[in-house]
Amino acid sequence: MQLSKISDFLWEIPKHDQMLVSGKIYASEPLLKSIKEDRSLLQVKNVATLPGIVCSSIAMPDIHEGYGFPIGGVAAVDIEDGYISPGGVGYDINCGVRLLRTNLFYNDIKNELSSLMANLYNNIPSGLGSKHAIKNITAKEFSKVLKGGAQWAVEYGYGSNIDLEYTENNGCIENDSEKFLSQRAIERGREQLGTLGSGNHFLEIQVVDEIFDFDIAAAFNITYGQVMVMIHTGSRGFGYQVCDDFLKIMRKDISKYRYTPIDRELIALPFKSETAQRYFNCMNAAANYAWANRQIIKSLTEDNLMKTFALTPRELGFYQIFDISHNIAKIETHNGQKVLVHRKGATKALGPYSDSIPDKYSKIGQPIILPGDMGRASYLLVGTGKESGTFLSCSHGAGRNFSRKKALSTLNSQEILGKLKDKGIHILAASSKTLAEELPEAYKNIDDVVDVICFHNIAKKVAKLRPIGVIKG
């Protein structure tokens, strides 16, 4: 792969062959060594062939191989003649992260941590195919979920309107999807609402381990030693089915257009085509499903925290910092041009005084939540709005360092549990296989990823969060 160094922590794949634009990779040399181990750089090059793509095919420092697009990939296409690609969003539509603070400190919970984790594990469904946090939801009510997202969940009794204020898009995107959804997608969605799922999804109890900007931390009402909760999940089987259904439909429709994808996984259609518009509407419905899902899990978590420690809502102080998606495509304006921005394993990174962030954060910028791995740390950052080369995008976490298959051959689940226990991390998982696949060393070092982000002034550090309790599917 032809690769040129532009500056420290920034590399370029020059425009050649069928590329319409160059590829840009934000990475340090140690990260780049890991990135070269899989097909992700080739995928950056392939994305650069997408019709209508503008500026560059972009890779964040957590990049690793995905379906069509690399995970950690960003691409904007012109709204008039550009193509939309489901591979640029991913199967887990609106997989995202929600971060919440509490009034508790580590010393308040350390003796009851095992009880708390057991309560959370027993009351929040997790694992592959997990079902029924909300039983017997009717077809009519499910339709309201897809229209209302997190707003539906609040109206249904999960959480409050203040949560919506601190959720991207207030937890809802308008869509017209019902007549385009398959019955299989609807069936899977009705079964799995309010479930954590499997793989890299998690619910994590964390402690604020380090603060880098005390003024911004104070604005978030967090301080050293405080207990936090991070929720990472998405649209479950519903989003997967939407993606899978439309990949099949698009493969049949692509013969109508003068586009042959360089990679079979990079299937795409003109954004303004009828099929693409149907996909876009169903993608937004899946985004709403994911926001409703995280809203329900947030509420269930709060109930279990109050039950475990015999606290009132006011005493617990369970308030949301932010909820942000990292698998979605959105219509935005950048440099005066209206574009559709694909973010796959990447989040928005808006700076101060942006229109679409909560008023409380206007002067400090949008919160960015970067999960690390279950054995090390995660970060809370804020966007600066100063690096426009990424279409105001940022990494979504640490990113895999090596494959799940390799992780399975590295350590078994009991060895991993022992290592985490030695670090004071209490973990419960529905599957020993998932535990082995999620080996901490299977992920890039989050510190290295954050260093690249901050070097390029994409975002700045606010706090580092250490895991003490983890639920894995």
Q: Where in the sequence numbering do the catalytic residues fall?
A: 396
Neighbouring CB atoms inside 10 A of 399's CB total 26
Q: Tell me the C-alpha distance between 11 and 8, whole Å.
A: 8
262, exposed or middle or buried, with CB in 10 Å at 0-12, 13-18, 19+? middle
Give the 3-state secondary structure of the chain: CCCEEEECCEEEECCCCCCCCEEEEECCHHHHHHHCCCCHHHHHHHHCCCCCECCEEEEEEEEECCCCCCEEEEEEEECCCCEECHHHCCCCCCCEEEEEEEEEEHHHHHHHHHHHHHHHHHHCCCCCCCCCCCCCCCHHHHHHHHHHCHHHHHHCCCCCHHHHHCEHHHHCCCCCCHHHCCHHHHHHHHHHCCCCCCCCCEEEEEEEEEECCHHHHHHCCCCCCEEEEEEEECCHHHHHHHHHHHHHHHHHHHHHCCCCCCCHHHCCEECCCHHHHHHHHHHHHHHHHHHHHHHHHHHHHHHHHHHHHCCCHHHHCCEEEEEEECEEEEEEEECCEEEEEEEECEEECCCCCCCCCCHHHCCCCCEEEECCCCCCCEEEEEECCCCHHHCCEEECCCCECCCHHHHHCCCCHHHHHHHHHHCCCEEEECCHHHHHHCCHHHECCHHHHHHHHHHCCCEEEEEEEEEEEEEEC
401 neighbors 440 (Cβ within 8 angstroms): no
293 neighbors 236 (Cβ within 8 angstroms): yes
For 13-31, letters b (16+ CB in 10 Å) and e give: beeeeebebbbbbbbbeeb
Q: Tell me the C-alpha distance between 323 and 345, whole Å.
A: 15
